[in-house]
Chain A
Amino acid sequence: MEATDTISVRLNGKDRMVDAGHTVASLLESLELHPGMVVVELNREILERDHYQDADVSEGDTIELVHFVGGG
């Protein structure tokens, strides 16, 4: 079996190895997150949902995935 290339990203405050070649959309899918349920910040910039498909995930990216939780 061919080894998959991985890259290191900072994801929600933790360093994580993910497969190379992900777009934001495919990364969300691999994390089993519904794109409509999260908001993505890529390197401190909010990424609009229409751009998830064409935003590539690169080595060293800082990605924040946030959603709504209970609060007052």
Chain B
Amino acid sequence: MAGEETVGLMNQLDGPLTIGGVDFKTRLIVGTGKYATNQVMVDAIRASGAEMVTVAVRRVDLDRTKEEAILHHLDPGEFFLLANTAGCYTAEDAIRYARLARAAGFNEFVKLEVIGDEATLLPDVQATLEAARTLADEGFKVMAYTNDDLITALRLEDAGCVAVMPLASPIGSGLGVVNPYFIREIKRRLSVPVIVDAGVGTASDACVTMEQGVDGVLMNTALAAADDPVRMAHAMKHAIVAGRLAFLAGRMPSREIAVPSSPTRGMLD
């Protein structure tokens, strides 16, 4: 099968992505929100090849009009669940959501997200740092969503985060990497994995992101809001691999002059 061949080849060309002591064969992490149907979600996630998938913690709707529990559709034996603290605006709330998520009993990982502004959904980095310190002290494996600021990224690493996740551009914007230099600088300076979280819109964005040398990409809307999420998931899977291998291969220098590819000698008179 083509899929297995790809995995086999990737094992020779690239190592696993290790986050908090857990190895992942793919560098794409996907969300589970905003899909038109649960079936499309599951099909898209399978097509993406992602092993780690994010979920949110919410109240059970006691006047249930539909089966909204994600675990009715996603097998926790098949996917590694990464609970998020999406929607939290204070460190205290994020800590509360993280503790609830851990009590569900799957793992110690949490995608920490503390939002500071409703319009841009940009992170409150001060509150994120505060929550990261508390959660890391409590034994959580914190993967922290942050902006593309190097100093915050370094502090999150110091706080004990197992991964730092700068945004490419605002959540759900699909604008791609607005500041590749900052992303590269964060990757250069951190020892923990750097996962770019949010802002990827299409396959080329994912590829360009991976070409910056980061360890992985987390996306949700780019798949869920595509006209054909399953087809886009296939595209993203390949884009992540392409960008990763291009980074590892080391690109040729770019220059603003032409250099012939064929010999200039041996031309006929």
A residues with CB within 8 A of B: 11-14, 31, 33, 37-39, 41, 46, 48-49, 64-72
Contact = CB atoms under 8 A, between A and B. Distances in A.
B56 A68 contact: yes
A38 B62 CA distance: 12
Contacts of B34: 70, 72
A69 B86 CA distance: 11
Specify the main secondary structure of chain B where it touches its partner.
Answer: mixed
Contacts of A14: 62
A39 B83 CA distance: 13
B103 interface: yes
A65 B62 CA distance: 9
Interface of B: 31-35, 41, 54-60, 62, 68-71, 81, 83-84, 86, 99-101, 103-105, 171, 198, 218-221
Contacts of A71: 31-33, 54-56, 84, 86, 220
Given A68-B55, A68-B81, A72-B54, A12 B60 contact: yes
B58 A66 contact: yes
A10 to B, nearest CB: 12
A41 B102 CA distance: 13
A70 B59 contact: no
Given A39-B103, A72-B171, A66 B57 contact: yes
Contacts of A12: 59-60, 62
Contact of B60 (A33, A46, A49): A33
A59 B78 CA distance: 41
Contact of A39 (B84, B104, B221): B104
A32 to B, nearest CB: 9
A71 B100 CA distance: 15
B81 A13 contact: no
B69 A68 contact: yes
9 closest A-B pairs by beta carbon, nearest first, are A71-B56, A72-B31, A72-B220, A70-B32, A68-B55, A70-B33, A71-B33, A65-B60, A39-B103
Identify the interface centre among B68, B69, B83, B218: most chain A CB within 10 Å of its CB. Answer: B69
A69 B100 CA distance: 13
A67 B62 contact: no
A41 B105 CA distance: 14
A69 B68 contact: yes
A69 B70 contact: yes
Nearest to A31: B62
A54 B63 CA distance: 26
A68 B104 contact: yes
B158 to A, nearest CB: 26
Given A69-B33, A69-B55, 6 more contacts: A66-B57, A70-B35, A71-B54, A71-B84, A72-B32, A72-B33
A37 B103 CA distance: 11
A61 to B, nearest CB: 15
A71 B145 CA distance: 14
Contacts of B41: 70
Given A46-B100, A46-B103, A68 B70 contact: yes
Contacts of B100: 39, 41, 46, 66
